[in-house]
Each structure stands twice: as C-alpha cells, then as structure tokens.
Amino acid sequence: MENQEQVHKRRVRYSGTHPKSYKEKYKEHNPEKYADTIAKVIQKGSTPAGMHISIMAQEILDFLQIKPGMTGLDATLGYGGHTKAMLQKLEGNGHIYALDVDPIESEKTKERLKNQGFGEDILTVRLQNFADIDQVTKDTGKKFDFILADLGVSSMQIDNPDRGFSYKVEGPLDLRMNPQKGKSAADRLKEVNYQELVGMLYENADEEYAEAIARTVMNWRKKGKPIETTTQFKEVIEEALSFIPEKERKEAVKKSCQRSFQALRIDVNSEFEVLYAFLDKLPGVLAPNGRVAILTFHSGEDRLVKRSFKELEKLGIYSEVSKDVIRPSQAECVRNGRAKCTKMRWAIRAGE
C-alpha cells in the first residue's frame, strides 16, 4: 500500500475582522483554549457562542444555604453554571441530581463538569423532564434539601441556528428542547387552526396582534407557501403587521417576533403543563425545611409560580415564601443583557 499524504484542511475564513455566524466563532466554542477571547466577549455584555452565563447565581446560593452533606436537585441543568456553583458549596460531600431534556447539550455539560472534577460520585445527570421530579425520588429514595429550577432557554439553544429558537438568524423552525421528540414548530403551524393559533399567541405570550398573525399564517397555508424556517415565520409577522405606520413598524415586528417565537416554543414543549406538574409534585420531593428557588422569564410562568407558592403556604405546606419577586442587580443586567427579564421566587418546605 502506498502512503497517502494527509491533506491539511484550512479553517474556513470569514469576511471582515470578526466572525458573525455561529459556526465561524471557533474561538468562542473553545473556552478552555481561548479564555482571553471569552473574557472580551463577556466584558462587552455579550454571551459567547456555545456558552450560557448563569443568572443570579449569588442570590440563589444566598437563599439555598447549601452545606456539605446535603442532597440537591438542579431541575434544569443547561450549561451547568448553576450546578457547578452548587457543587462547589458541597465541598466534595453530598450529591446533586441534575435533569435536562436536551440530549445534545446535557451530554456536553456532563462531560465538561466531569473534566472539572465533578464526577458521578457527586453528580448524577438524568435525561429527564423536570415534570417527573417525583420519579427521581422514587428511584433514589431521597428527598432534596435544595432545588433549583431555571426556566429560561439556554443561550446555547438560542444562538445555534440549527435549533430554530431565534428569529434573528436563518434556521429550521424547530423550537423543541429535545429535537428527537414531538412535533416541531413548523409542523404545528401546518396543523393548527385559526382559533387555536390566536389562543396560543395570546395566552402564551400576550401577543397583541395575535389575530392578524394567525390570519396571515392561514393565508400562507391556503397559497401553499411554506412556513418551515425562522426567516419565513418572521416574514409572516412582517406581512401581518404591514398596516402599522412605517416609522413604528420595525420595533413592532421585533417585539411580535419575540412574543410569537416564545408562544410557539411554549406550545411545542408543553411548558405550562410541565410547570404545573413540577409545582404540584414539588412539596413531595422536598425534605422538611428544604428550599426551592425558581427563575422565570415571562409573566405567564411567574404567575403560576406565585399562585402555587401562596396557595401552598396558606395550607401550611410551605412555612415561608418570597413576598416579592427578586430581580437581578443592575450591574448584572449590564454584564448580561439576557438577565433583564429574570424574576426569582422561593419557598421553604414546612418542617415535620
């Protein structure tokens, strides 16, 4: 056999001085190798591609009061920033169970945390929806001293065009947390009727132009025009809002895109149903005097959490709940623009 020379593949060059597309940002995808680049991106108030900056980490730790020997649950693992901060508080003694439905990102996070010294002796990652927290207790026989649920979409999902979470970049209109299960947002738009779509947009995101957007979706379907990409759905919204005066239209389209994508995402992932189940099962998995903190990112989620905590406090199931919503500091919002809409609420399980 003749020896064949290996062909050296050059990295694809990008136009301009800085990469713009997600896949071109090779330095940001390698934080261990390019720490200086990561620091610069964060310093500018941006989130590096493929990463997620944890929100309100200190406020969460201050409330949860984690001590060595405790057992905890991170109901929404994501990039693992909150998980790592909580693991450090255990000082090598105790255990955290972490759940995530995203098979792509959870495996990366598990490996990353393992490389940082948090192996299976102290951390168990389960590919599981946090609606099934009771199953963790059933399988392990353990109740939790502390629980965190961060209900936001991770930046890794938002920024990756292949996941279809953002109207700002071209990609498939998917929006599923687990792209291997259920129907995509594009599939939902092919089957949903007018009234159902109006309800979805209004109930899931308070979209004021729900009827106009739903009418336009139905018109595109009648004409056989595809709504299969993020860009195509944005075009639907632009067409639906074409009656708005030009000087106001750009901002209106931007806000309607944000709300409509949110409404679709909530629908395809059954987010409200999942949150209902989580809140209902929560007292049953918390140890006496156990603490839970929940981060929400839109009014619908916050209303559900607030109502559940207050009702269960009246019944004596929680000994104390947060009276007011807790928000990130102004300094954090400057460092991380994605923190601005965050609200935190907490509850403490009554002792026996």
Q: What is the pLDDT of residue 214?
A: 97
Residues of the chain with pLDDT under 50: 1-9, 14, 19, 21-30, 33-35, 37-50
What CATH code is carried by the domain that includes residue 129? 3.40.50.150
Look up the CATH number of the domain holding residue 226.
1.10.150
Pair 257, 276 in one domain: no
Closest CA to 29 of 4, 5, 11: 11
Does residue 133 form part of some domain? yes
Across the strands, what pairs with 97?
Answer: 73, 124
The candidate with the shortest Cα–Cα distance to 73, out of 96, 93, 102, is 96
CA distance 85 to 332: 17
Do 215 and 141 lie in a common domain? no
Helices (H), 116-164: 133-140, 155-159
Give CA–CA dist 89/148, Å, rounded: 14
Residue with tokens 């003694």: 93
Q: Cβ(328)–Cβ(54) under 8 Å? A: no
> Are 92 and 182 members of one domain?
no
Instruction: Indicate yes or no: pTM above 0.85.
Output: no
Residues in contact with 335: Cβ distance below 8 Å, sequence separation at least 6, in sequence order: 42, 45, 53
CA 305 to chain centre: 16
In a domain, residue 112? The reply is: yes
* Last residue in a domain, options 268, 296, 316: 268
Q: What is the pLDDT at residue 15?
A: 53
- Identify whether residues 99 and 126 lie together within a single domain: yes
pLDDT of residue 157: 56
Find tokens 């619908």 and name the residue.
300
Q: Does residue 292 share a domain with residue 236?
A: no
d(CA 27, CA 30): 5
- Last residue within a domain, chosen from 236, 252, 268: 268
Asked if residue 337 lies in contact with residue 288, where contact means CB atoms within 8 angstroms, the answer is: no
Give the distance, in angstroms, between the CA of residue 243 and the centroid of all CA atoms in the same chain: 33
Q: Facing residues of 344 across strands?
A: 295, 326
- Name which of 295, 302, 303 is nearest 344 in CA terms: 295
Map residue 234 onto helix, strand or coil.
Answer: helix
Instruction: Tell me if 283 sits within 8 A of 349, measured CB to CB.
Output: yes
Domain, as residue range, for 330: 57-156+272-349
The sign of the dihedral angle between the CA atoms of 316, 322, 324, 325 is negative
> In this structure, is residue 142 part of a structural domain?
yes
- Residues 70/93, Cβ–Cβ less than 8 Å: no
Tell me if 326 sits within 8 A of 59, measured CB to CB: yes
Q: Indicate whether 113 and 151 sit together in one domain.
A: yes
Domain boundary among 236, 268, 300: 268
Structural domain total, the chain: 2
156 and 52 Cβ atoms separated by less than 8 Å: yes
Domain annotation covers residue 21: no
Please give the DSSP secondary-structure letter assigned to residue 44: T
